[in-house]
Amino acid sequence: MPIKTITISTAKGGSGKSTLSQCLAVQLPHSALLDLDPQLDSYHWAKLRGDKYPEKKIPCAKIREAADVQRAKQQLAGGGFEYLIIDTPPSHQGTGELRKIFQMSDFVLVPIHPSPKDLRAAYTTITALKGLNVPHAAVLSVANPRTSITADARSLLGESDVGIAPVVITRLTAYPETAVDGRTPLDLKGPNRPKAEFAELQIWLETKLGGKQ
């Protein structure tokens, strides 16, 4: 099976792109990460993670251009990898490289913190993805699922015919607390809310990608 590429992108900074990239890499089986963001959040996170969880070691490489994605895929081929997750910088698609990476992706997830500013910024990414005909969807992130602003964001996206993940990634301090040493809330012992949300996100994503259900 060829490796499936999932890119995480939105024009807005601080919307949870790196956190979503890292958690997805932990949640999805046999995943590797690529970090296009010069801030290198995911790259440093993976370095901190190191060998803490041998069964969930996440290789991560820095990349600068679309050709690096192709090179990474060639290097990973035959290694049993199923998913390649690409963390990106906040960008209004100013560089052609991000557009090329979108076109090389099997799916692009657009994390949106439910606020008017974040929604406006996300629409520039969604418009670019629609124009390129790349499969994509929004996922409400760093959000309180029970607030009216989250419900409003969901309806606004629905009215604009934007695909949206059925699960909201709840705002919880466990995310920043675990990220400091290369973990995620999914690595914690016992059941927790992030585990339930990411398990649901995985099932939905696999359906979107036409794989296992």
Ligand X SMILES: Nc1ncnc2c1ncn2[C@@H]1O[C@H](COP(=O)(O)OP(=O)(O)OP(=O)(O)O)[C@@H](O)[C@H]1O
Residues that bind Mg ion (CB under 5 A): 17-18, 41
Output the CA angle 114-119-125, nearest 5 degrees. Answer: 130
Residue with Cβ nearer ligand X (172 or 188): 172
Of 171, 187, 202, 204, the one binding ligand X by CB under 6 A: 171
Residue with Cβ nearer Mg ion (1 or 180): 180
CA–CA dist 109, 163 (Å, integer): 10
Question: Does 38 contact ligand X by CB under 6 A?
Answer: no
Token couple for 155: 């309806």
Output the CA angle 125-144-189, nearest 5 degrees. Answer: 105
Compute how many other C-beta atoms are within 10 angstroms of the C-beta atom of residue 1.
7
Question: Does 86 contact ligand X by CB under 6 A?
Answer: no
Contacts of ligand X in 1-20 (CB under 6 A): 13-19
Residue with Cβ nearer Mg ion (22 or 27): 22
Q: Are the CB atoms for 84 and 73 separated by under 8 Å? A: yes
172: partner contacted, choices ligand X, Mg ion, none (Cβ within 5-8 A by kind):
ligand X
Of 61, 68, 73, 90, the one binding ligand X by CB under 6 A: 90
Of 29, 39, 181, 193, the one binding ligand X by CB under 6 A: 39
User: DSSP strand E in the chain: where?
Assistant: 4-8, 31-35, 60-62, 83-87, 107-112, 136-140
169: partner contacted, choices Mg ion, ligand X, none (Cβ within 5-8 A by kind):
ligand X
Of 119, 169, 186, 205, the one binding ligand X by CB under 6 A: 169
Question: Does 118 contact ligand X by CB under 6 A?
Answer: no
Question: Does 45 contact ligand X by CB under 6 A?
Answer: no
Compute how many other C-beta atoms are within 10 angstroms of the C-beta atom of residue 131.
11
Tokens 């520039």 belong to residue: 124
Which ranges of 108-173 would DSSP assign to H, the alpha helix? 116-132, 148-159
Residues that bind ligand X (CB under 6 A): 13-19, 37, 39, 41, 90, 141-142, 169, 171-172, 175-176, 179
